[in-house]
């Protein structure tokens, strides 16, 4: 045996490409096309001075308190982390220690099986129904936990609060994580269920609706026992995950509610216009409530369109995976970026 036999072997999650060139229309990683609130840049002017000599506040109290105020919960119900990936990873590590498999949809955020493998959590994927539908009753079998992205990725399809409630109420002995990375673009958060269900953990991010993917801020809102358990695990691994800049920038973003609302509204409007444009070009689209559309052309294979767009410096996301390998996930950019996309698509489809 060699020492290499004792390495932890995992197949990592593969994020979308981050091309270096400037003239690219980048619609492949669900970033927000608009900058963060100007209040974020102002807050960051104060970073990097004498204060940076010191460790940041391990409790990130400024940011937790601001989130608690924004969402009408206690600070002790808020956990923050380095993007929602960090928060979700901590949730898997903390809540899923049962012998029973955790459940998540077969088509969903592809990081879930990676964390399950990394932390050696048994898991079972649940098939989607016709039209990529998630049926709550399918998650009422014995399990060690449930994870639902709502809206789901990469389909963008959202469950209603009462459908989420069916899953949470039907699993009183498991933690149900609802990953609401895209909720602000047109779905309804299930945070209103938190008072009723101590087994619910709602995870959100600043990466999409607050245009701050680069600052890496995510959070979980849940009952106090769940948050206390998350804190214990985090402080047993790395206490200082939230740096000074992210704490200040996150707090500043929360102070500009009007900007946030306007930005989400614009993206939802562009999405609905883009859906019609796709349909005019013979694409079928799921009913996405997220900042992306999930589209499939009636005759031209998705992979071919993906490659032809790439040659024209337009990046969208293609997943060579069962069930979705004839679909493209297209992030909603600015209206100008989307117009460039549709003009390229018209050219590609005319040649196909």
Q: Report residue 100 as tokens.
A: 């029973």
- Residue 201 within binding range of ligand PMP, rule CB under 6 A: no
Which of 143, 150, 191, 205 is close enough to bind ligand PMP by CB under 6 A?
Answer: 205
Q: What are the residues facing 64 on neighbouring strands? A: none
134: exposed, middle or buried (C-beta count within 10 Å: 0-12, 13-18, 19+)? buried
What is d(CA 292, CA 306) in angstroms, rounded to the nearest whole number?
15
- Smallest gap from Cβ 83 to ligand PMP, in A, equals 3
C-alpha separations of 195 from 24, 220, 223 in Å? 45, 15, 8
Which residue's structure tokens are 């020492």? 3
- Smallest gap from Cβ 215 to ligand PMP, in A, equals 9
Find out whether 316 and 306 touch, Cβ atoms under 8 Å. Answer: yes
- Smallest gap from Cβ 340 to ligand PMP, in A, equals 24
Question: Which span (78-86, 126-134, 191-199, 304-312) binds ligand PMP, by CB under 6 A?
Answer: 78-86
Q: Report residue 119 as tokens.
A: 């932390």
- Residue 186 within binding range of ligand PMP, rule CB under 6 A: no
- Residue 156 within binding range of ligand PMP, rule CB under 6 A: no
- Residue 184 within binding range of ligand PMP, rule CB under 6 A: no
- Residue 246 within binding range of ligand PMP, rule CB under 6 A: no
- Residue 218 within binding range of ligand PMP, rule CB under 6 A: yes
Q: Which is nearer to ligand PMP, 143 or 207 (CB)?
A: 207
Q: Which is nearer to ligand PMP, 111 or 297 (CB)?
A: 111
Q: Which is nearer to ligand PMP, 135 or 213 (CB)?
A: 213
- Residue 114 within binding range of ligand PMP, rule CB under 6 A: no
- Residue 146 within binding range of ligand PMP, rule CB under 6 A: no
3-state secondary structure 290-351: CCEEEEEECCCCHHHHHHHHHHCCEECEECCCCCCCCCEEEECCCHHHHHHHHHHHHHHHHH
Which of 109, 123, 259, 292 is close enough to bind ligand PMP by CB under 6 A?
Answer: 109
Question: Which span (49-57, 66-74, 79-87, 225-233) binds ligand PMP, by CB under 6 A?
Answer: 79-87
Which of 60, 91, 153, 314 is close enough to bind ligand PMP by CB under 6 A?
Answer: 153
- Residue 37 within binding range of ligand PMP, rule CB under 6 A: no
C-alpha separations of 201 from 17, 122, 129, 342 in Å? 30, 20, 25, 39
DSSP structure string for 257-296: HHHHHHHHHHHHHHHHHHHHHHHHTTEEE----SSEEEEE
Q: What is the CA radius of gyration of the chain?
A: 21
- Smallest gap from Cβ 110 to ligand PMP, in A, equals 9
- Residue 31 within binding range of ligand PMP, rule CB under 6 A: no
- Residue 67 within binding range of ligand PMP, rule CB under 6 A: no
Number of residues that bind ligand PMP (CB under 6 A): 12
- Residue 181 within binding range of ligand PMP, rule CB under 6 A: yes
What is d(CA 342, CA 259) in angstroms, rounded to the nearest whole number?
28
**CA-closest candidate to residue 102, choices 130, 142, 49, 70:** 142
- Residue 179 within binding range of ligand PMP, rule CB under 6 A: yes
Q: Which long-range contacts (CB under 8 A, 24 or more apart) does 320-324 make?
A: 321/107, 321/110, 323/106, 323/107, 323/128, 323/132, 324/107, 324/154, 324/294
Question: Which span (35-43, 82-90, 139-147, 327-335) binds ligand PMP, by CB under 6 A?
Answer: 82-90
In the region spanning residues 284 to 313, those forming contacts with ligand PMP, defined by CB under 6 A, are none
- Smallest gap from Cβ 218 to ligand PMP, in A, equals 4
Chain residue at closest Cβ approach to ligand PMP = 83
Task: Report strand pairing: 218-222 vs 283-285.
Answer: unpaired
Q: Which residues bind ligand PMP (CB under 6 A)?
A: 83-85, 109, 149, 153, 179, 181, 205, 207, 213, 218
């Amino acid at each position: 045996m060699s020492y290499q036999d004792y390495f932890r072997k995992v197949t990592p999650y593969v994020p979308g490409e981050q091309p270096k060139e400037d003239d690219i229309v980048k619609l492949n990683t669900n970033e927000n096309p608009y900058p963060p609130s100007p209040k974020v840049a102002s807050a960051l002017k104060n970073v990097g001075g004498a204060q940076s000599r010191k460790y940041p506040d391990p409790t990130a109290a400024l940011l937790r308190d601001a989130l608690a105020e924004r969402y009408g919960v206690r600070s002790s119900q808020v956990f923050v982390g380095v993007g929602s990936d960090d928060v979700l990873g901590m949730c898997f590590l903390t809540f899923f220690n049962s012998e029973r498999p955790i459940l998540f949809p077969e088509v969903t955020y592809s990081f879930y099986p990676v964390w399950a493998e990394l932390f050696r959590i048994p898991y079972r994927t649940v098939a989607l129904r016709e039209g990529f539908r998630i049926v709550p009753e399918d998650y009422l079998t014995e399990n060690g936990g449930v994870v639902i992205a709502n809206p789901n990725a990469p389909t963008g399809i959202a469950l209603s609060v009462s459908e989420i409630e069916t899953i949470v109420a039907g699993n009183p002995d498991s933690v149900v994580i609802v990953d609401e990375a895209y909720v602000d673009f047109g779905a309804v958060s299930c945070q209103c269920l938190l008072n009723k269900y101590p087994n619910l953990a709602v995870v959100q991010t600043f990466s999409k609706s607050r245009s701050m993917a680069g600052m890496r801020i995510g959070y979980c809102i849940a009952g106090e026992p769940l948050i206390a358990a998350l804190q214990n695990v985090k402080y047993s691994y790395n206490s200082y995950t939230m740096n000074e800049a992210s704490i200040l920038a996150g707090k500043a973003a929360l102070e500009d509610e009007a900007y946030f609302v306007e930005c989400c509204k614009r993206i939802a409007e562009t999405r609905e216009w883009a859906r019609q444009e796709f349909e005019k070009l013979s694409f079928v689209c799921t009913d996405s409530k997220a900042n992306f559309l999930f589209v499939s052309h009636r005759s031209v294979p998705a992979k071919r369109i993906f490659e032809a767009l790439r040659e024209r410096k337009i990046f969208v996301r293609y997943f060579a995976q069962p069930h979705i390998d004839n679909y493209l996930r297209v992030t909603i950019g600015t209206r100008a970026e989307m117009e460039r996309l549709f003009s390229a698509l018209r050219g590609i489809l005319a040649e196909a």
